[in-house]
Structures are given as C-alpha cells and as structure tokens.
Amino acid sequence: MAELTFWTGTMDAGKSTLALQTNHNHAARGRVGRLFTSNDRAGESVLSSRLGLTHDAIEVGPELDFWRFVVDSLTAGARIDYLVCDEAQFYTPTQVDQLAKVVDELQIDVFCFGILTDFRTRLFAGSARLVELADRTEVLQVEALCWCGKRATHNARTEDGAMVIEGEVIVVGDVDDVLGPPAEIAYEVLCRQHHRRHLTAARARAVSLSAEPLPFGS
C-alpha cells in the first residue's frame, strides 16, 4: 500500500539530504519518480543539500495542482511510482490534500520533507496539514545543535546577526555560519531557551567579549 510520509526537523537537520537519498534509493531499484521543491536556497527548480548535492526538480508554486500534474502525466504515458516533495512547509493545505489523494486513489508513494515551524515558532500551514493527513510523521534523528551545544528545536531569522520575530514568512536564506561574520539575512537554529531570549551566536559572542560562543546557557 502506498503511503504519505512526512519527514520533519529543524533547519540543518539533513532533510534535503534525506530527500535526495530517498530518490536515489528508489531510482536504484528501477522505480521512477518526480522531485518537487519550493524556494530552495540554490534557486528555482533545484533541490539542494548543504552537503553540496543537487538535483533538478519541479518548482512548486501556489498554482501547481499535484493531482492534475500526476493524472496528466500518467494519461500521456509516463510512469510515476513515487513523488519526493522537499520544502513541503511552503505547500498550501490544498496541495497537501492533493498529495494525499494521489496516494489513496493512484497508489503512488509520496515522501514529504519540511520544517514544522517558522521563525516566529508558528506552524507552517503546509506542515500542519501534513501532520493531520500523513500516514507517518517521522522526526529526523540527526540533531541540529544550538550554539550552546544543546539540541536545536527552533528556527531563528537573523538580520546582521540580530534575531528578528516579525516580517514576511517566506524569505529565502541559508543557515548562517555562526563562527563567521553575520550575513545580512540568514537563519540560525537555537534551543528554545535561547530562541526565547533572542540570544544568537553573534550576540553571545558580543556579550562574552570572546571569539567563541558561551559554553553554557545564559
């Protein structure tokens, strides 16, 4: 039986790497799939991993109808055994409903990958709908770490190293190098304590007057 599976974790937890690995594993067994992504850091129609791996993908905009895309492809003679859907947090709830219909009505496996909450700690609409509908929701076992060494549970947006809690929900950026100079706009993974206190790695260095982040929560 086909399944709708949702793999989730914070930024920097390896979701896109797993998406590419999933595609590789299924393709190596002779299965034929389609890859989708939305607002990837590498640009339009590219599924990329921070490890440097990339693959062409179909860009998901709000106008894309997954059900119609798959049905039209099958009608035209194409073979589709599975879908790999990265950055699924950016999909609309209606699109997630369409993916569930593809699984149930066409018996095509759908593997979704995305983060649960935005930089304001609020659920993305696409992720919320996936939690509601997925046959399985799996949390990635590779733990991203806060600058303090604790497990990172929250995604923070930074501007020039300072954390912000207001603004557009979708702003493309990558996880910042906490040991390098702050990027103009970037993301950083933090534990709940330091997210709540808006204490980024850059601010921690400034407070400690040291080149290294504080080795403990403050």
Report the catalytic residues. 87
Do β-strands 109-114 and 4-8 pair in parallel, antiparallel, or remain unpaired?
Answer: parallel
Q: Is 82 helix (H, G, I), strand (E, B) or coil?
A: strand
The residue with tokens 């002779």 is 30
Residue type, 212: E
> What are the distances in angstroms from CA 56 to CA 30, 78, 95?
19, 18, 21
User: Any idea what the Cα angle at residue 70 is, between residues 64 and 72, rounded to 5°?
Assistant: 95
Helix%, strand%, coil% for the chain, nearest 5: 30, 25, 45
